[in-house]
Amino acid sequence: MGGEEEAETQTSICKDAPNLLSSFVDTFVDFSVSGLFLLPTPPLQNPNPSISRSLPPLPTRLPSPSRLIAVGDLHGDLDKTKQALRLAGLIDASDRYVGGSATVVQVGDVLDRGGDELKILYFLEKLKREAARSGGKIITMNGNHEIMNVEGDFRFVTKTALDEFRVWEQWFSVGNKMKGLCQGLETPTDPFKGVPMSFHGVRREFFDGFRARAAALRPNGPISSRFLSQNVTVLVVGDSVFVHGGLLPQHVDYGLERINEEVRDWINGSSGKFSPQYCRGRNAVVWLRKFSNEVAQNCDCATLEHVLKTVPGAKRMIMGHTIQTAGINGACENRAIRIDVGMSRGCGGGLPEVLEISKNSGLRILTSNPLYQNMGNAGLNVGKEELLIPAHGGLREVEVKA
């Protein structure tokens, strides 16, 4: 190479160096926190320069895919998360996405009650990117525990979780320092700006952990803006409505797209500390239990019917949030499907089950519960048979009268 070309090359490489350094630091920090290496971010669809963050709108309504899997509350248990995904044939033994063009909906409550919160967030992000390459889609939703944590309500945090966030902060801060040493990069914002040094009534030994969690998860925090802002709060896929707690008529009136956009904007820091009003209180979209009573006949089926009528094409509502000790089941003639099985260790360690809706086989419960091997009607719900899928995989039909 001639001298002139060499100089040109050096210049053009050094113009690139800040971005290369930034990518390296992000990769190193991600690896240090999660043990994972991620595929590159998929390119943004429809970037709109007039919106400050150029974010594509969150998907609120999607057509029926040929295979749809719904996964309930995970609450910080990575092992159970993987078991549930493996049950549905979505990941292989090496944790790679093998679900093809399936659509997967996780209905919220990744956070709290367990110590693998960041690991799960990163793992789902890894799978999202892998799925996108096979035409699949993984959609994560906000549960009440996501909303609470962004608001600083840490009442259900575990000690291990605090440690995970403390470790996150150490690497994240090192990463910021490294970026700060490169003149071509803007000095990263201090994620602790405005976070208190101490917390009244809390033992001193936990200050660091809470500071880290507060910095990470508050509106526009590094973890909330990176992961939680991608969550939808309400979702319609084909003829199924997904929501963590439940939808009331006033929520549909308010506007499903509007709810998703407002919650995302709040998570990204545009509307202060508290979530929108429909995310708080007993009738919130993420707190409602009207259609989730384990005693099916105590559910407010009339209201459910009313809501479903107002969402075009909707035949059922699929919800997490209320632990079903009997496993996934339906109420209100299976117009309410309750998929929170309390699988996390922190929720009693219920056996993993997921719901499958497919064009070929309709609604099926994929379960690892050995009690149901080769049994007929388990008698839990009228018209519903639960079959078991042994841990190593197996097939089983569940007929759910829609």
Partner 1 sequence: MGLAQSAEAAAHVTQTQTQTSTQTSTSNNSNSTSLDSVLAEAAAYGNNDDTEESIEAKAQRALECPCIADLRTGPCGFQFSEAFLCFLKSTAEEKGSDCVSPFVALQSCIKANPNAFSKDVLGEDESEKSEPTQEYKILPPQWSREPQSPKSRL
Q: Are 217 and 150 in contact (CB under 8 A)?
A: yes
Segment contacting partner 1 by CB under 8 A, of 23-31, 138-146, 235-243, 364-372: 23-31
Q: Is 271 in the site for partner 1 (CB under 8 A)?
A: no
Region 205-224 residues binding partner 1, contact defined as CB under 8 A: 206, 210, 213-214, 218, 222
Count CB neighbours of 340 within 10 A: 27
- What does the per-residue mask of binding to partner 1 show for 2-21, with x meaning CB under 8 A? --xx-xxxxxxxxxxxxxxx
Nearer to partner 1, 181 or 371 (CB): 181
Parallel/antiparallel/unpaired status of strands 103-106 and 67-71:
parallel
Please state the φ and ψ torsions of residue 247, each to the nearest 5 degrees.
-110, 135
Give me the least distance between CB of 30 and partner 1, in Å please. 8
CA distance 334 to 316: 7
Region 99-158 residues binding partner 1, contact defined as CB under 8 A: 152-158
Region 147-206 residues binding partner 1, contact defined as CB under 8 A: 152-159, 162, 174, 177-178, 180-185, 190, 192-197, 199, 201-203, 206
Nearer to partner 1, 28 or 254 (CB): 28
Nearer to partner 1, 18 or 362 (CB): 18
What residues are paired with 164 via a beta bridge?
none
CA distance 90 to 84: 9
CA distance 18 to 1: 25
Region 223-252 residues binding partner 1, contact defined as CB under 8 A: 225-226
Nearer to partner 1, 51 or 382 (CB): 51
Element holding 163 (H helix, E strand): helix 159-180
At 272 the three-state DSSP class reads: coil
At 168 the three-state DSSP class reads: helix
251 is catalytic: no
CA distance 398 to 387: 6
Nearer to partner 1, 49 or 376 (CB): 49
Give me the least distance between CB of 272 and partner 1, in Å please. 11
Catalytic-role residue among 75, 145, 244, 251? 145
Please state the φ and ψ torsions of residue 70, each to the nearest 5 degrees.
-115, 130
Give me the least distance between CB of 192 and partner 1, in Å please. 7
* Residues labelled as active-site residues: 145
